[in-house]
Amino acid sequence: MRKRQLKLSTIIIIFVCLVVILSLVITSLLIGNTVRNAIHKTAEEKAEVISRTIAHSEIVESGFKHQKNAYKIQSYTSEIQSVTGVSFIVVMDMHGIRKSHPNPDLIGKRFQGGDEMLALNGKSSMSEAEGTLGKSLRSFTPVYDNNHKQIGVVAVGVPMKSVDDAMSEGKREVLIGTLLGILVGILGAYLLSRYIKRILYGLEPSAIAKLLEERNTMLQSVHEGIVAVDQEGKINLVNKSAKEIFKKAGLPDRAVGMKIDDYMQSTQLPHVLAFGKPELDEEQNINGVKILVNRVPLFVNNEIVGAISTFRDKTEMYQLSEQLVGVKTYAETLRAQSHEFSNRLHVILGLIQMENYDDLEKYIHEIVDHGTQENETIASNIKDPALAGFLIGKLSLAREKDIELSIINESVIREPEHAYLTHETITIIGNLIDNSMDALSSSSSIYPTIEVYLKYLDKQLYIDVTDSGIGLNDELQQKIFDKGYSTKGNHRGYGLYLVKQSVEKLEGTITIDTHVKGKTQFSVVIPYEEKGNHQ
Domains of the chain, start order: 39-166 (3.30.450.20), 223-314 (3.30.450.20), 356-527 (3.30.565.10)
CB atoms within 10 A of CB 306: 20
Tell me if 383 sits within 8 A of 413, measured CB to CB: yes
106: left (phi > 0), else alpha (psi -120 to 50), else beta?
Answer: alpha
C-alpha torsion angle, residues 317, 319, 324, 330 (rounded to 10)? 160
- Dist. CA 161–CA 499, nearest whole Å: 105
Whole-angstrom CA distances from 243 to 231, 238, 451, 528 are 22, 7, 47, 31
Confidence of residue 25 (pLDDT cuts 50, 70, 90): confident
Asked whether the CA dihedral 225, 228, 232, 234 is positive or negative, the reply is negative
- Dist. CA 192–CA 19, nearest whole Å: 14
Which pLDDT value is given to residue 269? Answer: 85
426 pLDDT above the threshold of 80? yes
Which pLDDT value is given to residue 453? Answer: 92
pTM check: above 0.75: no
Query: Using one digit for the tens of pLDDT, what is the confidence trace for 471-524?
Result: 776 667 667 777 655 555 444 456 788 888 888 888 899 988 876 566 788 899
- Dist. CA 326–CA 452, nearest whole Å: 20
Burial of 190 (0-12, 13-18, 19+ CB in 10 A): middle
Which pLDDT value is given to residue 535? Answer: 47
Total residues belonging to the chain = 535
> Quick one: DSSP state of residue 238?
E
CB atoms within 10 A of CB 219: 17
Which pLDDT value is given to residue 462? Answer: 92
The mean pLDDT of the chain is 78
**Backbone Cα Rg of the chain:** 54
- Dist. CA 99–CA 453, nearest whole Å: 142
Residue 243 CA from chain centroid, whole number: 20
360 pLDDT above the threshold of 60? yes
Beta-bridge mates of residue 159: 136
Report the pLDDT averaged over residues 52-65.
Answer: 86
Confidence of residue 39 (pLDDT cuts 50, 70, 90): confident
Query: Using one digit for the tens of pLDDT, what is the confidence trace for 260-299?
Result: 888 887 788 888 888 888 888 787 888 877 788 888 988 8
Which pLDDT value is given to residue 340? Answer: 58
Pairwise pLDDT comparison (285 vs 133), residue with the higher score: 285
Tell me if 243 sits within 8 A of 253, measured CB to CB: yes
The residues near 11 (Cβ < 8 Å, ≥ 6 apart) are none
Which pLDDT value is given to residue 193? Answer: 77
Tell me if 237 sits within 8 A of 215, measured CB to CB: no
Sheet of 449-457: strand order equals: 404-409, 449-457, 460-467, 519-527, 509-516
Which pLDDT value is given to residue 320? Answer: 58
356 in helix, strand or coil?
coil
